[in-house]
Structure 1
Amino acid sequence: MQSCYNYAQTIIRQDVDDIMNIIAIFGICLLKNESFLQRAIEEGADFIETDILSSKDGVLVCFHDVTLDNTTDIANRTEFANRKRTYEVQGENMTGFFTVDFTLKELKSLRVKQRCSFRDQQFNGKFQIITFEEFITIALDAPRVVGIYPEIKNPVFINQHVKWSHGKRFEDKFVETLQKYGYKGSYLSKDWLRQPVFIQSFAPTSLVYISNKTDLPKVFLIDDVTVPTQDTNQSYWEITSDEYLEYIKQYVVGIGPWKDTVVPVVKNYMTNPTNLVARAHAHNLQVHPYTYRNEFPFLHFNFSQDPYMEYDFWINKIGVDGLFTDFTGSLHRYQEWTSNRKDDDDDKTESNLLHKIALLVSSYE
């Protein structure tokens, strides 16, 4: 997912008549590691999100970019200076230090840093890249039910450069890892409610492929209007057509579009909304746009630098079913504020509902 750095993100659901729509995913706008993910959970996270790539030796890791240049100290590690490569990634040549050229041990020797200069830099150089299994363990070790929302990242590129035994693919290892830790079941099934997970990807063929291996719910991510799909080279207009939505709904429960494609932006002002949300809903697909950020470079002028106005617009006017945000504190406060305004009934408080579901599930086991 396109974002300013590698972190847990947030989804908030708005409709109290639909269980999915009121599950909140609280992340934290910092570095993705054990400490910050645990902090996100302490702040109320029901799900934590991550991007999944692979090391040279086939270990799945949590990292946003296929290159290490922008968010690690690789530039200062002279012992790796000869690892710089140029590869084709999604149809374009890219030069840098790629995760697929480093073993897990080597990746673990690096330290991560914040990409955006206007964000807190004090944690740079203090934390390692974590593995997918370590990420899962953080969720499972939480004192309550905490779901995960992992992304199958750049599968075409990963499968070109990393080879597993017995002809297995990146997607196979991804699903096997989830199954190893007990993740199974269709959306809202008893098994799913016990260990909730959504699988996301920009690559539709990967989502179709894993549908034969797991019935866990999947979300098809959609990039900007100028960016074709990384695996099938289909245009934005094709994959958002009614014909394609009717096709992809056989494999996914929702779509995750870049928010500026749902409501186009000109000179930092939002224009008229498209009908994508309405059409997706007509095909029984959820819509979870990304990514919502508090800082002035990301807030459109329509909202007067007020993230609450942005949340309110997307949830109550556009009618999205979920949204990803970097700023869980703001979203949590907005959630509490609107919840207090609407209803004081704790049974309808979004932040508690998933926990109540878990109790209901355990009560008849």
Structure 2
Amino acid sequence: MKRRGRPLVIGHRGASGYRPEHTAAAYELAFELGADAVEPDIVATRDGVLVLRHENEISGTTDVASRREFASRRTTKTVDGVKHTGWFTEDFTWAELATLEARERIPETREDSAAYGGGILRLRDLIPLMPDGAIMVAELKHAAYFESIGLPLDALFAEEIADWAKPENLIVECFELTVLEKVRARGVPGRVVFLLESSGAPADQVALLGRRAAPYSDYLTDEGLRSLASRVDGISVDKRMLLDRRGTGATDLVARAHAAGLEVYTWTLRAENRFLAPAWRTGDPAQFGDWQSEFGLVLATGLDGVFADQPDLVRALLD
């Protein structure tokens, strides 16, 4: 594994600290602010079009709830063992989704961003926005679920990305190892990265094995990390897994993963007080806190990439 001299700065859903996530404005701004890469979350429509939304339930990030013509589409589904009520991408054609307006997810925290909008993007719409040398860190969402309803994300993604992807400009990530292995088997170039939660178990394994599914914690032992190194290029973890309980010191996870031959990425660096560890909060939850201290601790672990809502702040620390 060839490790970079400094971590990749990845615009999380674009520059989502300043513009509504997954909009063209968010992606364009991320690169203007110095991001090396951007992260699109990928789900599918009923007619097999890959669209960029953090979840397949879209009421929190679009105006779908106010659209009378789609009122009957509101429903309740269980996705990866969790019940959700709302509107789901797989119940719409792309032509229908294209009529929706994207909205800021947390307007109470990001009032400036809430003044902006934009349309929903397809994966194919992001490709022309990628500057030369930029990296796409594509996250396939709820792969086992989409497979179960006849929308295999690995096949759809491999076809969509075929003419653009190169080993140096693509990273594919997912919370499910099976889809990463399918992507690799389809000859998609680039690195594959396994996302790990701090609790629970991978949805694909739960679907297959039920209560016998190995928890995420098993993958984070020294033995588990060595085993992962034969299957993926890296891991991506919640930033809390890199910090101690107080958030004022670092764990040894990066060092152990590097020793096993894995790259390490973390999510998500956000400057507002509500997202910082308690030790670095300075007041109003919607205002920036002591982000320099928390970000600095994370960067000092020597990891390979960070997802950030405000990529310019990470760039400022690195520069």
TM-score, normalization: structure 2?
A: 0.86
Kindly indicate which of the two structures has a greater share of residues assigned to strand. Answer: 2
1:294 pairs, out of 271, 279, 282, with 271
Q: Deviations over 1:196-249 (max 9, x none)?
A: 111111111111222212242011111122x21111133122222233322221
In structure 2, the residue matched to 1:329 is 312
Sequence identity, in percent? 29
- Say which is worse superposed, 94-103 or 246-255, in terms of deviation: 246-255
2:80 pairs, out of 55, 75, 90, with 90
C-alpha displacement at 1:159, in angstroms? 1.7
In structure 1, the residue matched to 2:9 is 24
User: Is the radius of gyration larger for structure 1 or structure 2?
Assistant: 1
In structure 2, the residue matched to 1:160 is 148
2:237 pairs, out of 254, 257, 274, with 257
Please list every run of 5 or more consecutive structure 2 residues that lacks an aligned counterpart in the other structure: 207-213, 282-288
- Cα distance in 1 for residues equivalent to 2:177 and 2:66: 37
Matches for 1:1-365 after TM superposition, within 5 Å: 18-19=3-4, 21-26=6-11, 27-28=14-15, 29=17, 30-31=19-20, 32-116=22-106, 117-120=108-111, 123=114, 126-139=117-130, 142=131, 144-163=132-151, 169-181=152-164, 183-185=165-167, 192=168, 196-214=169-187, 215-225=189-199, 227-233=200-206, 234-265=214-245, 269-270=246-247, 273-303=250-280, 305-316=289-300, 318-336=301-319
- Say which is worse superposed, 244-253 or 22-31, in terms of deviation: 22-31
Please list every run of 5 or more consecutive structure 1 residues that lacks an aligned counterpart in the other structure: 1-16, 164-168, 186-191, 337-365
Q: 1:243 to 1:18 in 2, by over 3 A?
A: closer
Q: What letter matches 2:215 in structure 1?
A: S
SS of structure 1 residue aligned to 2:308: coil
C-alpha displacement at 1:22, in angstroms? 4.4
SS of structure 2 residue aligned to 1:333: helix
The CA RMSD over aligned residues, in Å, is 2.1
Q: Deviations over 1:236-266 (max 9, x none)?
A: 222222333222212321100111133254x
The answer (yes or no) to whether the contact 1:290–1:325 under 8 Å persists in 2 is yes
C-alpha displacement at 1:124, in angstroms? 5.5
- Cα distance in 1 for residues equivalent to 2:4 and 2:154: 28
C-alpha displacement at 1:120, in angstroms? 2.5
The answer (yes or no) to whether the contact 1:111–1:124 under 8 Å persists in 2 is no
SS of structure 2 residue aligned to 1:175: helix
- Cα distance in 2 for residues equivalent to 1:258 and 1:150: 17
Q: 1:83 to 1:330 in 2, by over 3 A?
A: same
- Cα distance in 1 for residues equivalent to 2:307 and 2:116: 26
Q: 1:179 to 1:329 in 2, by over 3 A?
A: same
SS of structure 1 residue aligned to 2:35: coil
Equivalent residue pairs, number: 297
The answer (yes or no) to whether the contact 2:41–2:138 under 8 Å persists in 1 is yes
Q: 1:66 to 1:20 in 2, by over 3 A?
A: farther
- Cα distance in 2 for residues equivalent to 1:68 and 1:37: 19
- Cα distance in 2 for residues equivalent to 1:314 and 1:272: 9
- Cα distance in 1 for residues equivalent to 2:197 and 2:304: 18
C-alpha displacement at 1:272, in angstroms? 6.2
Q: Deviations over 1:273-323 (max 9, x none)?
A: 44322221111111111111111111113335311111211122x332222
SS of structure 2 residue aligned to 1:231: helix
Q: 1:124 to 1:156 in 2, by over 3 A?
A: farther
- Cα distance in 2 for residues equivalent to 1:76 and 1:239: 43
